[in-house]
């Protein structure tokens, strides 16, 4: 067997030898490997049959899920909780924070929490799989309770900036080193500008968390595209965004604005079957689609990070370097002090196309 080709995925340069140590995933006998820092996913609701919303989740279950996440090439995540009752979320953050304190392995891989909701739109379509009766306007006192319960580990929050009190909330969150992302929102153009001025830096899974029918010109997707100061997360599973839509958005945004995420729930990294996302009981078939009851919105994805990386190149409009950056960009911004392990993923052995 000939020696494999090693390529630095960030610089695009050929390496004389692999880094030591290096963490291989996929076909370990491949003719060539792309090498770079382990992937980072800012929105993971569950994995490998484990629902992170489950109030009875154990240390062992979370360790198992994290090991499976790492087998998919992802060295670090933000564990994501979605809209629930305030008391329930407070309990869950306290419970998960206790697990993180208990396990050094989990602490090293889960760098904090992403709170998606409850400060999002209640409008049909825009609230997605979140229970509309539990969403509410941004309330800093409520957030402080949740942040205290989390041990100060909420590092990202998704909210709708058109809601009353959002600008003040965004400023306070930004001052407290919590990144604000805009999502599940029908914010007007001026609302988005006001949010950016207050400190918002990102948009959560653009093209999702919105109705199937939108105004042909003045809609949330077009408004976000028009604001170059916002990073944008996308779900590259070919389901949340059809392949041509993902590619179009990447080209319209410019690769430097894109952050990739799986928005994974417990069916990710697991076979077809029945799974939970909070209070929702979901059936995931061979098509890997995770649909909320009633079939009107998605309820997370069954995508793994490794699959998402390859999809970025297969149909997402990225070359290898752009795809790798999109899967690591937000860690560099949020956690510049964190040193990720070297990851090697197989490619065909030729020089990756630019």
346, part of any domain = no
Burial track 262-301 (b if 16+ CB lie within 10 A, e otherwise): bbbbbbbbbeeeebbbbebebebeeebbbbbeeeebbbbb
Element (H, E) at 198: helix 189-198
Tokens of 313: 């190149």
23, part of any domain = no
30, part of any domain = no
263, part of any domain = yes
Question: What is the rounded CA–CA span in Å between residue 130 and residue 126?
Answer: 9
Q: Sign of torsion, CA 48 261 241 313?
A: negative
231, part of any domain = yes
Considering the entire predicted model, what is its pTM?
A: 0.95
Prior bond to 118 cis, omega within 30? yes
178, part of any domain = yes
Domains in the chain: how many in total? 1
Q: Is 14 exposed, middle or buried (0-12, 13-18, 19+ CB in 10 A)?
A: exposed
* pLDDT by position in tens, the chain (length 354): 578 899 999 998 999 999 999 999 988 889 999 999 999 999 999 999 999 999 999 999 999 999 999 999 999 999 999 999 999 999 999 999 999 999 999 999 999 999 999 999 999 988 888 999 999 999 999 999 999 999 999 999 999 999 999 999 999 999 999 999 999 999 999 999 999 999 999 999 999 998 888 889 999 999 999 999 999 999 999 999 999 999 999 999 999 999 999 999 999 999 999 898 888 888 888 888 887 777 667 888 999 999 999 999 999 999 999 999 999 999 999 999 999 999 999 986 544 443
3-state secondary structure of 122: coil
Distance (Å) of CA 203 to CA 158, 253, 286: 8, 12, 30
CATH number, domain at 179?
3.20.20.140
353, part of any domain = no
Tokens of 51: 């629902």
10, part of any domain = no
Range of the domain at 204: 36-338
């Amino acid at each position: 067997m000939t020696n494999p080709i090693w390529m630095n995925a960030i610089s695009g340069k050929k390496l004389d030898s692999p880094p030591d140590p290096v963490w291989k995933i996929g076909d370990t006998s491949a003719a060539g490997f792309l090498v770079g820092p382990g992937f980072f996913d800012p929105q993971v609701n569950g994995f490998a049959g484990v629902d992170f919303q489950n109030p009875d989740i154990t240390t062992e279950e979370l360790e198992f899920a994290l090991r499976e996440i790492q087998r998919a090439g992802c060295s670090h995540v933000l564990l994501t909780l979605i809209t629930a009752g305030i008391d329930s979320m407070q309990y869950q953050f306290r419970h998960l924070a206790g697990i993180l304190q208990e396990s050094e392995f989990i602490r090293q891989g889960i760098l904090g929490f992403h709170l998606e909701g409850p400060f999002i739109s209640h409008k049909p379509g825009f609230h997605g799989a979140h229970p509309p009766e539990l969403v509410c306007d941004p309330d800093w006192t409520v957030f402080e309770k949740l942040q205290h319960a989390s041990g100060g580990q909420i590092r990202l929050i998704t909210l709708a900036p058109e809601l009353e009190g959002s600008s003040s909330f965004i400023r306070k969150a930004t001052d407290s080193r919590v990144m604000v992302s805009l999502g599940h929102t029908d914010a007007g153009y001026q609302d988005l500008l006001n949010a950016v001025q207050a400190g918002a830096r990102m948009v959560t899974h653009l093209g999702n968390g919105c109705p199937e029918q939108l105004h042909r010109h003045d809609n949330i997707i077009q408004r976000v595209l028009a604001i170059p100061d916002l990073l944008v997360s996308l779900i590259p599973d070919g389901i949340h965004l059809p392949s041509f839509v993902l590619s179009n958005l990447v080209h319209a945004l410019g690769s430097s604005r894109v952050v990739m995420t799986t928005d994974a729930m417990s069916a990710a990294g697991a076979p077809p079957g029945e799974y939970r996302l909070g209070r929702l009981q979901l059936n995931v078939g061979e098509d890997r689609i995770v649909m909320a009851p009633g079939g009107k919105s998605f309820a997370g994805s069954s995508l793994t990070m490794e699959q998402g990386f390859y999809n970025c190149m297969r149909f997402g409009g990225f070359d290898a370097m752009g795809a790798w950056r999109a899967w690591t960009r937000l860690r560099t911004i949020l956690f510049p002090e964190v040193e990720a392990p070297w990851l090697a993923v197989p490619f065909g052995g030729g020089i990756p196309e630019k």
